[in-house]
Amino acid sequence: MEMEPAMSYVKSLKSRESGQEYPIEPRTVCDIDFSPVEVAYDYKAMQGNVTRQSIEAGPLSLWRYKDLLPIEGEPKAGLHSGWTPLVKADKLAAELGVKELYIKDDSANYPSFSYKDRVVSVAITKAIEFGFDTVGCASTGNLAHSVAAHAAAAGLHTFVMVPHDLEAGKMVGMSVFGPKVVRIAGNYDDVNRLCSQIADKYNWAIVNVNLRPFYTEGAKTHGFEIAEQLGWKLPQHTVLPVAGGTILPKVNKAYKEFIRLGLVDDNSPVIHGAQAQGCNPITTAIEEGEEIFRPQKPKTIAKSIAIGNPADGYYVIKDILNSGGWAASATDPEIIDAIKLLARTQGIFTEPAGGTTLACAIKLIQSGKIPKDESICVCITGNGLKTLEVMENQFQAAPVIKAKIKEFDEVIVQGNNAAATA
């Protein structure tokens, strides 16, 4: 018996500015207006077919939203990615004096512990659909880790390109899967420029260059999950980190798609951006009332979001302002404090990108941009175990004692450190 082909609601690639349409193919920008191209769907055909029930019947992974993702057949990567916890963060809420606070925790994502497992699941599936045998990426670390893991599982050749000075946990994390790791003497923007040339010259799928329209769609699943896990409701405020500018506009798009399909009520959700002080082109533009950002040279401990010339920065600014949101930046010490606060109150260890997002959320709450009595979701996108060096020197070394109850009593219970074993 012949199998029915899996139905897809994908229509075309469409220029974000002129609406010029292209077939589904590896492509980054429109040939006519040079704006990014985006996947367009047939939402009319989805009505009545893509429902809460159809989604709830899907797997406990990001692929439960397959109908809203740009793949043709069955997923070929990331079968266990996504469906990360949405934590009701009551202890943190009490500490911040807010009524209803959630943490969307992608530090628990599989297999590489960051939100990048979402975009990579879609990109690698698409690379296989297109028939590529080699994949790559320009990365600040987490993307390379995720591409290397997913590509190893899929049996693809892999080249990951990164700045030369990344954290050890990220370097080991990506290297263990056996990709060709290319360290570039420069920052992410230099890496990205080289990757555009590589994508042009070699017939490889560079996931965030020539597969970018498909890759970015994977980030919507972070937003879909927030809405579904909240009981088919949108938070009033969502705070997201901004690096290249993928996740923020795509969570916004996810909310809009769910509203359009009648899966959630339209509460006019407000989207806010978070950046490190040492790399804050988007926050600066918003604070100065500019629609166009000025590129920067990054200098921050938040290396994973140190992108001074964000590819989709223009759309980040637009989406934040159109939603009625705002943006903030956090200094390195504020980032560290926020990492500790999240760990102490909720038992979640995030990397500096997450520290940045929480520190900025706190600033937005304190400045009244986020009212204390409205629901808030803070999006944690990466895991602290990959960036241990930023927390070095933050804690005193624990005393060493003999395995004797007397020493435990004196040193640990009574706090007499002088009695500790040298």
Select the residue interacting with ligand PLP from 245, 281, 355, 384 (CB under 6 A).
245
Q: Considering only residues 163, 173, 244, 325, which one is a binding residue for ligand PLP as defined by CB under 6 A?
A: 244
Measured between alpha carbons, how far is 91 from 104 in angstroms, rounded to an integer?
15
Closer CB to ligand PLP, 9 or 255, in the complex = 255
Name the phi and psi angles at 366, rounded to 5: -65, -30
Six-digit token string for 255: 């909310």
Q: Does 247 bind ligand PLP (CB under 6 A)?
A: yes
Q: Which is nearer to ligand PLP, 169 or 382 (CB)?
A: 382
x/- letters, 5..44, toward ligand PLP (CB under 6 A): ----------------------------------------
Least distance between ligand PLP and beta carbon 381 (Å): 3
Total residues contacting ligand PLP by CB under 6 A comes to 18
**Residue 18 beta carbon to ligand PLP: minimum distance, rounded to whole angstroms:** 24
Out of 174, 242, 261, 358, name the contact with ligand PLP by CB under 6 A.
Answer: 242
Local structure of 120: helix, strand or coil = helix
> Cβ atoms within 10 A of the Cβ of 150, count?
28
Task: Please say which residue, 309 or 346, places its beta carbon nearer to ligand PLP.
Answer: 309
Residue type, 321: L
What would the DSSP string read from start to end of 28-82? Answer: SB-TTT-PBEEEEE-HHHHTTTS-HHHHHTS-SSGGGGGGGSS-SSS--S-TT--
Region binding ligand PLP by CB under 6 A among candidate stretches 25-33, 139-147, 224-232, 254-262: 139-147
- d(CA 109, CA 231) in angstroms, rounded, equals 21
At 116, which helix (H) or strand (E)? helix 116-130
Q: Which of 382, 387, 391, 411 binds ligand PLP (CB under 6 A)?
A: 382
Task: Single out the residue of 158, 192, 238, 381 in contact with ligand PLP (rule: CB under 6 A).
Answer: 381
Site membership for ligand PLP, residue 146 (CB under 6 A):
no
Comparing CB distances to ligand PLP, the nearer of 245 and 269 is: 245
Other C-beta atoms within 10 Å of 3: how many? Answer: 6
* Amino acid occupying residue 96: L
Identify the residue whose tokens are 């893509």.
Answer: 50
How far is the CA of 287 from the CAs of 127, 215, 256, 279, 316, in angstroms?
A: 39, 30, 25, 14, 14
The first and second tokens of residue 262, run together, are 């009648």
Q: Residues 341, 286: contact at Cβ < 8 Å?
A: no
Q: Is 140 in the site for ligand PLP (CB under 6 A)?
A: yes
Q: What is the closest distance, in whole angstroms, from the C-beta atom of residue 345 to ligand PLP in the complex?
A: 20
Q: Which residues make beta-bridge pairs with 378? A: 103, 239
φ and ψ of 156, to 5 deg: -105, 155
Assign residue 230 a region (left: φ > 0; alpha: ψ between -120 and 50; beta: otherwise). alpha
* 96, 120, 148, 305: residue in contact with ligand PLP (rule CB under 6 A): 305
Q: How far is the CB of 361 from ligand PLP (least distance, A)?
A: 14
Query: Least separation, in Å, of the C-beta of 408 and ligand PLP?
Result: 39
- For residue 377, what are the β-bridge partners? 102, 238
Q: Which of 142, 158, 238, 277 binds ligand PLP (CB under 6 A)?
A: 142
Cα–Cα distance for residue pair 12/29, rounded to 1 Å: 13
Using CB under 6 A, which of 198, 243, 378, 390 touches ligand PLP? 243
Q: Closest residue to ligand PLP, Cβ-based? A: 382
**218: Cβ–Cβ under 8 A, 6 or more apart, which residues?**
62, 69, 118, 119, 120, 121, 122, 123
Closer to ligand PLP at the Cβ: 142 or 346? Answer: 142
Least spacing, CB of residue 271 vs ligand PLP, in Å: 12
CB atoms within 10 A of CB 405: 10
Closest CB to ligand PLP among 228 and 351? 351
Least separation in angstroms between CB 242 and ligand PLP: 5
Subset of 95-124 contacting ligand PLP (CB under 6 A): 114-115
Among 353, 360, 391, 411, binds ligand PLP (CB under 6 A): 353
Q: Which residues are within 8 A (CB) of 7 and not within 5 positions of it... i.e. 6 or more apart?
A: none
**308 part of the interface to ligand PLP, by CB under 6 A:** no
Whole-number minimum distance, CB 399 to ligand PLP, in Å? 34
Binding to ligand PLP (CB under 6 A): which residues in 174-203? none
Give contact residues for ligand PLP (rule: CB under 6 A): 114-115, 140, 142-143, 241-247, 304-305, 351, 353, 381-382
